[in-house]
Amino acid sequence: MDRIAEIERKTLETEVYIRLNLDGSGRANIEHPIGFMRHMMETFAKHGLFDIDIRARGDLHVDQHHLVEDTGIVLGQTFAKALADKKGIRRTGSCLYPMDETLVRVAADLSGRPFLCFEGELRGMPLVSALPDGRAASFQTDTIADFWQGFTDAAACALHIDILRGRSDHHKVEAVFKSAARALREACEPDPRAAEAIPSTKGSLLPPLYLA
């Protein structure tokens, strides 16, 4: 059975469409006006072996928070939809990811209960790059926690993200996405020893307010 989902979310602030294949090859087709987010989602797809299509637009004249957070929300919704009742999955996964001077640990539990623990120092300074036409582009690093909060709430999962050490905010954030992708990949993987089982003594991993 294909584990594929697509969600489109439209508000007065943003429009985000995501199509997700949990059993992909790492292909990413990302149309996102924030260059750094485009890079992070391509990285997330590659390390999770997820196929992801994203089309996003939003009120960047305000700031980046709305669009970054809503991208996380819609990504979480596609995970929840693609996983359905979560029968036969491993449920939990973790990854300790080194990236040069940076070390990040992420642990995920597709428990049906949303919880985010984000521990790590980011300087809060925008990451600035140059566009091909010479204009400057920047990314607000303080939106990263908003992205993952939106994701965990929508996916109804527990996610523990610890930036253990590092110097470069770019490396820290990128290592978070790589580590999270690998932890979620492991959690979503089918468990051949329990193919027909829900991995919970409760018999359900759906969130309390789940509507079919």
Of the pLDDT bands very low, low, confident and very high (cuts 50, 70, 90), residue 132 is low
Cα–Cα distance measured from residue 77 to residue 80, given in angstroms and rounded to the nearest whole number: 5
Least confident of 2-6, 76-80, 129-133, 206-210: 129-133
What pLDDT sits at residue 90? Answer: 97
What pLDDT sits at residue 125? Answer: 74
What pLDDT sits at residue 212? Answer: 43
Cα–Cα distance measured from residue 110 to residue 206, given in angstroms and rounded to the nearest whole number: 9
Q: What's the Cα-to-Cα distance from 68 to each of 13, 32, 134, 170, rounded to whole Å?
A: 11, 10, 24, 16
Of the pLDDT bands very low, low, confident and very high (cuts 50, 70, 90), residue 85 is very high
**pLDDT tens for each residue of 49-82:** 999 999 999 999 999 999 999 999 999 999 999 9
Cα–Cα distance measured from residue 54 to residue 77, given in angstroms and rounded to the nearest whole number: 13
Closest-CA residue to 6 (of 21, 15, 22, 19): 19
- Residue 190 CB contacts under 8 Å (≥ 6 apart), including other chains: 88, 89, 90
For the chain, domain boundaries: 4-194
Contact 110, 155 (CB under 8 A): yes
Cα–Cα distance measured from residue 155 to residue 50, given in angstroms and rounded to the nearest whole number: 15
Tell me the CATH class for 4-194: alpha beta
Is the model's pTM score more than 0.75? yes
Mean pLDDT of the chain: 93
**pLDDT tens for each residue of 168-208:** 999 999 999 999 999 999 999 999 999 889 999 999 998 87
Residue 142 burial (C-beta neighbours within 10 Å; 0-12, 13-18, 19+): middle
